[in-house]
Structure formats: C-alpha cells, structure tokens
Amino acid sequence: MAKLHNDSKYFVDMSLRLTENETLMEFQDLMNRTQRNPSKEEIQNFVDEYFHEPGDEFEDWDPSDWTEDPEFLKKIVHPDLKEWGKKLNAMWKQLGRKISTAVKDDPKKHSQIYVPNPVIVPGGRFREFYYWDSYWTIEGLLLSGMDQTVKGMLENFLMMVKEYGMVPNGGRIYYTRRSQPPYLIPMFKLYMDHHFDQDFLRENIDVLEREFLFWHNERQVKVSDRSGRTYHVAQYRVNVSDPRPESYREDYMLAQELATEEEKQQLYVELKSGAESGWDYSTRWFVNNETNNETTTETATAPGFSRDVGIIVAVLVIALVIIVLAIIISTVMKKRHSAAISKQSPLQNQFQQQN
C-alpha cells in the first residue's frame, strides 16, 4: 500500500534475491527497527535490496521455425500491406520468451510459472503468457509457419492442466485460482487442422477431457426458466475473497467504499470472476454513472438485468463455448483417422452417445 509503483502488478512480478524465509526475516528486522512504521523511502530501499526487477526470469530465444519471408507474404500484392505483414511477422521474435531454468530450479523465488517451451507474451506490463489470448496468437503463428512453436505452447498448456486441473488465467502463480474462457480444445483443433498429429492427439485426449470436466464439475450451476425446466450451465466463478494480487491496491481501495467485510469479500469474488471471463475490464462493466465497474457482479447479475436473468446471461456464453468445444473435438475424432486411434476416451464415448 506504499504505492512504490504506479502499477500493483509491478511488485508481484519481481523475483526474490534471497530465499523466501531469508527475505521474511529481513523484513521483520526492518519492522522491528522502525517500530512497525517504516517510511516509504525505507520500504523502497528494502525492495531494491531484496528483489530483482520484473523480466529477469527470461533467457534469449531465437525461434528455429521463424522465417523472414513466410508463405502468406507471397500472396500479398500491395507493397504497403506486404511491408506491414513483414513487420507483424517480425513481432514473433520481439514477443517470444523462453523462461530461464533458474525459475525451474528455484520456483519459490519467482511468481512466474516455469514451462519448458517458449511462449508468446502480449508485451508491455504483461510479461507472461495468457490463456485465451493464445488462441489468436496460435492462429497467427500457424499462418507464419511456426508449427513447432505452436506445439510447444500446447504442451505448456497440457502441462498446466496436469498440474492444476485446468489452464490458469496466465503464467503467474497468482493466476492459478482462476482460469479464462476454455479455448484449449479449439487451440488444439487449429493445430490439428494445420498439422495433423494423431500420436499427439492420442497421447493427450485424456488431458483435454480433464480440462473439459473442470468446467463441468467446478463451474457448473443450475438455472430454471419460468416453466420450471432446469438447465446445467457453466459460470465464471472464482471463490477467492481477497484482492487480485496484480491489482491489489486498486481492488482494496475500491472495496473501502463498502460498509461491511462481507460486502468487501463479495466484491473481490466478483472482480476475480470478471477477470476469469477475460473481460477485465471493458465497457461491458460500465454501469450506473457509466464510468466505472463498482457494481461488477459476474457471479450474480449482468448490468441492466434482474438477478435471475443476469445469471442466465452471464453463464450462457460460456455454456455455448463448451457446447462448441464438444462439437469440435467430436468432429476431429470422428472424421479424422478414427481407425488409427484404437482406444477411445470417456469424452469421446459421451459425444457419440449424444450424437
């Protein structure tokens, strides 16, 4: 809360110079020396001494499958558009990152999650990969002929599912309690349509199913229409009632306008659930005075609707996404090399029964 940086995310992305216990001991010593009331300058000096700046967790990476003149550029006739396409293609090298083995060897010093294969980051303050952003990144990489980079990214996501039961919001430990719209299966399909690898699919179909079941088991709610019919739909719902680490100060200050601790905790739940939707935060959340998201209630209402209708509106989008995912994976499995994959997963059997 000392506001050492303009962005709360800056601090939580810094890495430790010493071990966690050593750093805590040094901090306790600072608190004792200052009667638990250190000045902003003393806090800044402490952070400078015991933390690395964000971004030190990467190694140099030169993608082996990148080419200066990918096939799609040959189809562009207009010289200005061709030049623009070249600049876009060059950005893969600018935004590509390989996480240092130091993160793997000493993970408690870093908020960055180690993954073995290179990633593409959005850039700016976002120094880690993000889940559903990667769908469109993968589309671009495939267009640029970077199939191997795409496969590596998919392997990273599959590893996440094995570790956490789902794909986290992004590549930081503070994102592991929430996800984003489930695009892993569509990402997999993009790759399979471009470069069909039946062994890769057979080896990982159970992992794709596991992520599908996360949304089925952990994010499912029942809603009823006026006739009394009940529907099972998925919902963005993160039951963690504290501020988002990457926006800690902003969330905390916003909550001070609420009267009770229960209301504050509910606000934190709603903010994290809104972040899980991937829309954190756009004009979708501008309500009341039309300039803020103070009444964001992703798990309860949608702006301008009653509570019950809000629930349905908020969750039907993700329900439709999951239905599409089911259709996609079913189509892939039925129409492509089905005879070569001898052992079907429970997910395939389920789709066959439905269809």
Quick check: helix, strand or coil at residue 18?
A: coil
Q: What local confidence, expressed as pLDDT, does residue 351 receive?
A: 42
- Rounded Cα distance, 80 and 93, in Å: 21
What confidence score (pLDDT) does residue 317 get? 45
Locate 94 and state its tokens.
């600018």
Best CA proximity match to 144, nearest among 84, 79, 86, 193: 86
Q: What pLDDT is attached to residue 58?
A: 94
Q: What angle do CA 273, 275, 278 make, to 5 degrees?
A: 120
Cβ contact 81:57 at 8 Å: no
Give the residue from 146, 198, 173 showing the smallest Cα distance to 57: 173
Three-state DSSP class for residue 148? helix
Three-class secondary structure assignment of 26-76: HHHHHHHHCCCCCCHHHHHHHHHHHEECCCCCEECCCCCCCCCCCHHHHHC
What string of pLDDT tens digits covers the 355 residues of the chain?
A: 778 999 999 999 999 999 999 999 999 999 999 999 999 999 999 999 999 999 999 998 999 999 999 999 999 999 999 999 999 999 999 999 999 999 999 999 999 999 999 999 999 899 999 999 999 999 999 999 999 999 999 999 999 999 999 999 999 999 999 999 999 999 999 999 998 899 999 999 999 999 999 999 999 999 999 999 999 988 999 999 999 999 999 999 999 999 999 999 999 999 999 999 998 777 666 655 555 545 555 554 333 333 333 333 344 445 445 554 555 555 555 555 554 444 555 544 544 444 4
Which neighbouring-strand residues pair with 232?
222
Name the residue ranges covered by the structural domains of the chain. 1-54, 55-228+317-354, 235-315
CB contact set of 126 (below 8 Å; sequence gap of 6+): 170
* Cis before 281? omega within 30: yes
Cβ atoms within 10 Å of 26's Cβ, excluding its own: 15
Give the DSSP letter string of 200-249. Answer: HHHHHHHHHHHHHHHHHHHSEEEEE-TT--EEEEE-------S--GGGHH
User: Which pLDDT does position 329 carry in this prediction?
Assistant: 55
pTM, full prediction: 0.79
Helix (H) or strand (E) holding 120: strand 119-120
The answer to whether the beta carbons of residues 115 and 156 sit under 8 Å apart is yes
Fold type of domain 55-228+317-354: Glycosyltransferase (1.50.10)
